[in-house]
Structures are given as structure tokens and as C-alpha cells.
Structure 1
Amino acid sequence: MRQLSTTLDALKRDQDNMRQLSTPLDALKRDQDDMRQLSTALDALKRDQDDVRQLSTPLDALKRDQDDIRQLSTPLDALKRDQDDMRQLSTTVDALKRDQDDMRQLSTTDDTLKRDLDKEGSRTAALEQRLHEMPSCPTGYTMFRGTCYKAFNTRKTFSDAAAACGEDGGTLAMPRDAETDTFLISLHSAVSGKRPFWFGLHDQREEGSFEWVDGSSLGTYNSWCPGEPNNNRGREDCVLHNSEDEWNDAPCNRKYRFICQIVPGRPLATGGTLTTNVLRLSDHPQ
């Protein structure tokens, strides 16, 4: 019994030892499982690493392509700038073409203007030549419509005034139209103001039948003052411009300023008188 008890005790100790050994064994098993899991994860990582290696090749290619694109972008930008420059140049060329067309039109216009200018120059030269050849007025006389006129600021009777005009080679002025009449008024006003003046109209031959000093009839134009001619007291046979710039018959022996007219180019007479149809008898009261 003692031996069996000893054996039993030894078995119990062995059992306890086995229990103590089972704990590290379980730990070893767990570690073995962990190792298996780690091995699996490691294998997965290796596969991922292989995949990454495989991916690195196209990635490197993409990087090289990106570098190539960067290098291409520089000449592309230059091409875009060149394209913009070409557009600006095209606009400038179009403007230059329009300017060229305008210049052609201007050239045509300029040629036309030159021809017209040459024609005008020829006409001007011809007119200057004609003007040079045209007879001029003597000193003191003013040209109007091809006749020379002069206002005298001295007072004379009608016949003496006519004689003074004859000494210059002319006659008393004969305003046969409104324009000439207006010119004579302005010419006289510049010399003598609004004072009356003789001009070459009278009815000494026949009362009421007015004629010019060259013998021609009065004609259609006149500028009589209202109520004139009236031959007041039967003594008014010569005509003057009154202070109202209208015609008025007056005694021929009265002294007034006067206006003469002569033909252009005729030299002033040095002696004698020009014959006129003026009767000196009318200078005296009737």
C-alpha cells in the first residue's frame, strides 16, 4: 500500500507537471497560430510589393510622359503666342490693305485734282492775261460793270459839271439800272456824305421828255422821289440825287457836287471838252 501510495503521489506530481507544461504549450500553439497569420500577412505584403513594383513601371512611364508634356507645353505656349501675333499681324495687314485702297483712291483723286488745278491754272493765267489786256480806269476813277466812275467833291452847275467830265474825256454818270444807281450813291457817300449830286439826266430839249446826256432816252428804270419830277415854277430841267438817295428835278443853274463816267482805257483829256447834249442856256433862270 505504501508503494502504491508512493506511486500515486508520483503520478499526481507528474499530472501537476503535465498541467504546468500544458500552459506554455498552449502559448506555443497560440504563437504558432500567430506565426501562421503573420506568414499569411507577410505573403500578402510580398504580393502587394510585387504589385507595387509592377505599378512603378507604368508610373515611371507616366512621370516621363508628364515631363515630356511639360517640355511640350513651352513650345505650345510659344505657338499660341505666335498665333496671337499672327492674328494681330493679319488685322494690321487688313488695315494696311484698306489704307492701300484708300491711297489708290486718294491717288486717283489727287490726279484728278492736279488736272483740275492745271486747268484752273490755265484759266487763271488766261483771265490774268485778259485782265492785263483790259483797259483800266484813270487815277481817281473806280470800275463798275465795265465803266469808270468818279465822285467830285466840288460844286458846279449842271453844264459846268458836264464840261468838267468832258475835260476828263467822259460825261456825267448815267445810272440806267438799280445796281449802277446804288453804286453811284455809295461812291458819292464815301466822298461827300449825303449831299445832293448831279448825274447825267435832263429834259432841256422837251419838258417831261427826259434823256441822258449822250442823247439816249431815259428807258424803263428810274428812282424818282414821290411827287417828282414836278418842274417846280417851270425851272427844273436837270436831275440830281437828293439827300434821300432819290431822283429829283432841279434848276440847272444850281451848284451841286457831281459824278462823272468814262470808258476804261481812255486817257484823261489834256485840253478841250467832250461834246454832250447839254444846253448851257438852262444854267440861267428862265
Structure 2
Amino acid sequence: MTSPTFILDDMLYILVLYMLSLVGRISSWLTCGRLMNSKERRTDMWLQYFLALLVFLNVHADDSDSFSIFEKWRLKCHAKRCAKGWVCSETSCYHFTEEKVTFTEALRKCREIRAELVEVNDEEEFQFLKSQGDHKHLPSDFWIALTDSFEEGKWVWMNTWNTASFKKWAPGQPDDAGHSEDCVHMCSGNSFKWNDIPCGTTRQFVCEK
């Protein structure tokens, strides 16, 4: 089942194409002082058909994957920049591991492949990672680069030292159980919402670049 899906960037893109067509016609009239000949009219007609087709494809994008045709093209182009074995989002490349390591080892191993342990900076990125879990691409339980090891209760991203502005804690978390839980993982058992655990625990991890 489909439903209309409009993406603002896509509609602006279509508008730009239309304006270029209009400018071409005005320029022809101003410089030549004449109307378009039959060949130019046919070219202009096919351009209008092409723009109409783009609008149709965008409006009737399949709601099941929620991507418009232009988003798919952008994602495909971005995917070419991600190395084999990495999963592409619109802004980043992700590498999902099977190896279980401590939090510190996860940081080191990601840097060894010129990446960073994943930071989840907004709802869009959280939903992307969650969707990978739903499609079985993502480990069921994995480290993210969030810790309060340096100041209890102050959660910072280890890669940038930025205080986390976006948080997605599981109910009742963080609880610092046993006063020893200073690192964070995402777990499918909590719908991939966050939980604090001891940094020396071994978990799978996700690298991002």
C-alpha cells in the first residue's frame, strides 16, 4: 500500500529544474526575439513530461521503506563511499562487529580501522541503528561511545568529549548499579534503548566514520 510522501528537498530540486527550463525559454525570447521553433517545443515538452514523472515517482514512493526516489539516489551515491562490509546511512558508514570486547578495547579497535566507536547524536540516527537491529544487521547488544567515567552523572561522548544532548535511556536507567556502571550499551531487549553497565564487561560494538 502506498501513500503520498513529499520530501521538501526533493520538491525544491524539481522546482529548480522547472525554473531552469523557464529561464531557458525567456532567454531564447529575449536574445532572439522569437518564439521556440518546433524542435525546441518538442524538447521543452519532453522536459515537462520528465518533471511530471519525477513528481509522480516522488509522490508515490513506497511508504513501507519511507524513502523518496531522490533519497534513494542520494543513499546509493553515499553507499559508494562506504567500504565493503560497512552499512550506509545518509551521513555515516557503520561497521557492525561480532567480536566481544571491553569498552576501552572497542574504542581502540574502531580507531585501528580509522573510525570511532558509534555516537548516537539524534533520534534519526537512533532510529536508523534500531532499524538495522530489526533487520538483523545489528548486534543485539553493543557498546556506544558514551561514559560518565570522569564525572559521575555527566555523560560525555569519548570521541569528542561533548556532553550528550540527546539521550535514549531505557526505563529506570541509568542506575549505576553497584556504583560501578560507567559505560553505555544498546540492547535489543530494551528496544535498543540505553543502559549503563561496567566498562570492563565484554560486548559487541559498532564503529562509525
TM over 0.5: yes
2:83 counterpart letter in structure 1: P
Other-structure match for 2:182: 237
Other-structure match for 1:112: 44
Other-structure match for 1:259: 206
When normalised by structure 1's length, the TM-score is 0.45
Other structure's SS at 2:119 match: coil
Other-structure match for 2:169: 224
Other-structure match for 1:184: 129
Other-structure match for 1:139: 84
CA 207–143 in structure 1, closer or farther in 2 if over 3 Å, else same: same
CA 154–191 in structure 1, closer or farther in 2 if over 3 Å, else same: farther
How far the C-alpha of 1:138 sits from its partner, in A, is 1.4
- Structure 1: where are the runs of 5+ without partners? 1-106, 263-286
Deviations for 1:13-55, whole angstroms, at most 9, x for unmatched residues? xxxxxxxxxxxxxxxxxxxxxxxxxxxxxxxxxxxxxxxxxxx
Other structure's SS at 1:156 match: coil
1:201 counterpart letter in structure 2: L
CA 113–175 in structure 1, closer or farther in 2 if over 3 Å, else same: farther
Report the Cα distance in structure 2 between the residues aligned to 1:249 and 1:145, rounded to whole angstroms: 28
- Structure 2: where are the runs of 5+ without partners? 1-38, 54-69
How far the C-alpha of 1:192 sits from its partner, in A, is 5.3
The total of aligned residue pairs comes to 147
Matching of residue 148 in structure 1 with residue 89 in structure 2: no
CA 151–188 in structure 1, closer or farther in 2 if over 3 Å, else same: farther
Matching of residue 206 in structure 1 with residue 140 in structure 2: no
Other structure's SS at 2:94 match: strand
Other structure's SS at 1:153 match: coil
Other structure's SS at 1:164 match: helix
How far the C-alpha of 1:188 sits from its partner, in A, is 4.2
Report the Cα distance in structure 2 between the residues aligned to 1:185 and 1:153, rounded to whole angstroms: 17
Select the structure of larger CA radius of gyration.
Answer: 1
1:115 counterpart letter in structure 2: L
Other-structure match for 1:248: 195
Report the Cα distance in structure 2 between the residues aligned to 1:155 and 1:220, rounded to whole angstroms: 28
142, 147, 155: which one pairs with 1:197? 142
Report the Cα distance in structure 1 between the residues aligned to 2:163 and 2:176, rounded to whole angstroms: 17
How far the C-alpha of 1:257 sits from its partner, in A, is 0.9
CA 172–181 in structure 1, closer or farther in 2 if over 3 Å, else same: same
Percent identity over the alignment is 27
Other structure's SS at 2:168 match: coil
When normalised by structure 2's length, the TM-score is 0.61
108, 111, 115: which one pairs with 1:170? 115
